[in-house]
Amino acid sequence: MLPGMGAVATTFVAGVEAIRKGLAKPIGSLTQMGTIRLGKRTDGRSPKLKEFVPLAGLDDLVFTGWDIFEDDMYSAATNAGVLERDLLDKIKPLLSSVKPRKAVFDHNYVKNIDGPNVKKGNNKMDLAEQVRDDIRDFKKTSGASRLITAWCGSTESYFEPTAAHQSLKAFEKAMTQNDENIAPSMIYAYASLMEGVPFANGAPNLTVDIPVMHELARQNEAPICGKDFKTGQTLIKTILAPGFKARMIGLNGWFSTNILGNRDGEVLEDPGSFKTKEESKLSVLEHILQPELYPDLYGKFTHKVRINYYPPRGDNKEGWDN
């Protein structure tokens, strides 16, 4: 179940279907291509992860999603322009069948886009109950034995945790009062966890970094994870930085420029959404390099991140690091 049916979600679903039809290989998929070593290296026992862990097979996956726009996945994927039209046409039946449910949306959290396919309710608790209804409906109509929600929506405006996020009681009270500190992604996370459905956060939002979500996850035995998918520039940082640290190579500074022209770039033009992304990107180097332990190497390095929305670039995001 995918809140947000833009470039990320449609590329994921299209990839799964292309693999199922033998049109592509699962490049980049740890679950499909990764192995695990058992015993000594010389034992030669390295089964694939999907054979070692009881994971659902790709043929068993079914999809649904929510979005503020009314495009089905085929139309959304075509508009995103990530995948070739020829490939999309070969998997059109599945993509066309996945139509977006009405989304929970708050313009205060994502200021630069708007759409017509939005839920209405008396308060945020009402909206959460509507999402729970969607989850129950999908489980019944799809026949799926287990579900997972993966946030593929936009980066929300930056804000700090408040008293409303500290416990389930406080959070539910805040939702009934339409507290401005309850973001749409939190409503999806709450609804999912209340239904016993794991929630993966694919954006740098605060969503599951709060006590109430930890409480709910433990209470209903539904895992939570994620703080952005980080498959671009930040991925490169997380590859290079450990190498520098392993060899005790110091760092004076790291300057990062991102150029992108898709909806993600448009959203990140808003200073509030950019702040959320910036905080996430900045924190990764501090977490890896541990300047408090290695002050001579990393105690005074300067880290700058810039994101530039340039429509002609489309979804071909470009990153420059210095």
- What is the predicted pLDDT for the residue at 231? 76
Q: Is the pLDDT of residue 319 over 90?
A: no
Closest CA to 285 of 239, 316, 227, 223: 239
- What is the predicted pLDDT for the residue at 279? 80
- What is the predicted pLDDT for the residue at 217? 98
Q: Is the pLDDT of residue 164 over 90?
A: yes
* 124 vs 237 pLDDT, higher one: 124
CB of 302 within 8 A of CB of 234?
A: no
Report pLDDT digits (tens) over 253-297: 999 988 888 787 888 888 888 887 788 777 889 999 999 999 999
CB of 138 within 8 A of CB of 192?
A: no
Please give the average per-residue pLDDT across 166-178, as a whole number.
98
Residue ranges, comma separated, of all CATH 3.30.360.10 domains in the chain are: 233-321
**Percentage of the chain modeled with pLDDT above 70:** 100
Report pLDDT digits (tens) over 110-120: 988 899 999 99
- Where does 2-225 sit in CATH, by number? 3.40.50.720
Residue ranges, comma separated, of all CATH 3.40.50.720 domains in the chain are: 2-225
Q: Take residue 305 and report the two structure tokens written for it.
A: 């991140």
- What is the predicted pLDDT for the residue at 291? 95
- What is the predicted pLDDT for the residue at 68? 97
* 114 vs 99 pLDDT, higher one: 99
Q: Which residues in 109-211 belong to E strands, given as ranges? A: 149-151, 199-201
User: What mean pLDDT value characterizes the chain?
Assistant: 94
Query: What b/e sequence results for 102-135 when a residue is b if at least 16 CB atoms lie within 10 Å of its CB, and e otherwise?
Result: bbbbbeebbbbeeeebbbeeeebbebbbbbbebb
Query: Could you give the angle at the alpha carbon of 254 between the alpha carbons of 250 and 258, nearest 5°?
Result: 155
Residues 314 and 81: their CA atoms lie apart, in Å, by 8
Please give the average per-residue pLDDT across 189-209, as a whole number.
96
- What is the predicted pLDDT for the residue at 260? 84
Instruction: Spell out the residues 6+ positions from residue 317 whose beta carbon is closer than 8 angstroms to its own.
Output: 232, 258, 259, 260, 262, 265
- What is the predicted pLDDT for the residue at 209? 96
Model confidence, pTM? 0.91
Instruction: Spell out the residues 6+ positions from residue 314 whose beta carbon is closer than 8 angstroms to its own.
Output: 81, 261, 262
Residues 91 and 18: their CA atoms lie apart, in Å, by 7
CB of 319 within 8 A of CB of 233?
A: yes
Phi/psi for 307 (5° steps) reads -125, 120
Closest CA to 234 of 276, 280, 287: 280
Q: Which residues in the chain belong to E strands, given as ranges? A: 2-3, 65-66, 149-151, 199-201, 224-225, 253-260, 302-309, 318-321
Report pLDDT digits (tens) over 32-91: 999 999 999 999 999 999 999 999 999 999 999 999 999 999 999 999 889 999 999 999
233-321: CATH class: alpha beta
